[in-house]
Structure 1
Amino acid sequence: MMNFKPRMTPAELAELTGYKAQTINRWVTDQQWQTVPLKGVKGGKAHLIIVDDRVREYVSGTRKMQSRAEGYHVAEPIIAYGDDAAQLENQLRQVAQAMTPHERQQLSALILREGISGLLKRLGIKDE
């Protein structure tokens, strides 16, 4: 979420969005955004942009802001539905997470000692 102040200079808005101040000034003219003069700056062209809903909406819809927003999505583990291998991996991970550290050590030692074949025999899954 972008933190817009009620009034921002083109330089501040440019820093926030990743565009140049010159581009922001062009948008001010093209979109007819409201501005107020910034006193005490030589030349008299300095201004503050009044950040209202129109400004927020326009800036949020720009290409750079859209690509930035893509990074804000919550990542979920990718599981191919109907893929038995993925489902099994997920279940094994859940079992391992539910075990105590001591139980995980013992299971790891068992797998190292007996191998996958030995583990499957003990579970009654593998035929001899």
Structure 2
Amino acid sequence: MDQREIVLYRKDLFEDAKNKADFKAKYGYDLAAPKTWQQYQDISAFFTKDGMYGTDVKGGVETEYLAHVLQAGSPMVLDSNNNVVIDNAAHKQALDFYTSLVKDAPAGAPRSTGPPPRISSIRARQP
């Protein structure tokens, strides 16, 4: 099954000449919309500065984490024989990735279940 995530980003930050130069100097590749989860992590870390956060995570909704489990190649909870698989390597990989994003998210984000404050910030183009 093909599992995809939607990434929203501020085009003005990605087109800024200083951001582009600084990003390339730090990571060795051009600043652009991410195509891999490693690029997503790099971009998140790069934009976490000066009161701005490079990403957001929701910890109150278990399906946020489970999307990464599917992308890591594992069934969500049960395999085809109805065996519990939440302790397999793919689950650990997905959980490690998801929790690694917390450092680049606003304080309290892992406990948040709704988007309103984040959406308001994006609309206002505030850091």
Q: TM-score, normalised by structure 2?
A: 0.24
Q: TM-score, normalised by structure 1?
A: 0.24
Larger RCO, structures 1/2 (Cα 8 Å, 6+ apart): 2
Q: Which structure's CA Rg is the greater one?
A: 1
Higher helix share: 1
